[in-house]
Structure 1
Amino acid sequence: VFHLVEFTVNKTVAVVPENWYSDGVTCWPNYKGDASVNRAVKNAKEPGPEWE
């Protein structure tokens, strides 16, 4: 399951896996490059402690 999330600070939207979203907060990987982020989204990678 995925969520469509709106980031109000920078006025963008993103599709994120359900396990990245909890109580109005979205975890986001600190990867460099869209390809790495897209791969993490597609595979619903578990958020790590270093994620924002």
Structure 2
Amino acid sequence: MPRQLLRRLLPDPGEPFLVVRLGYADSDEVLPVSPRREARDAVQVDE
């Protein structure tokens, strides 16, 4: 899993909580729309 791979790269104690990938396509081809999840399905709030 990506989280475990990233965790090995961080100094102890390290816990990845956000990964952002930025970039652009090399061509002018229109990319398909990707489905989006509801925020409540992905965001965890610890109180």
**RCO (CA 8 Å, sep 6+): is it higher in 1 or 2?**
1
TM-score w.r.t. the length of structure 1 is 0.22
Structure showing greater radius of gyration is 2
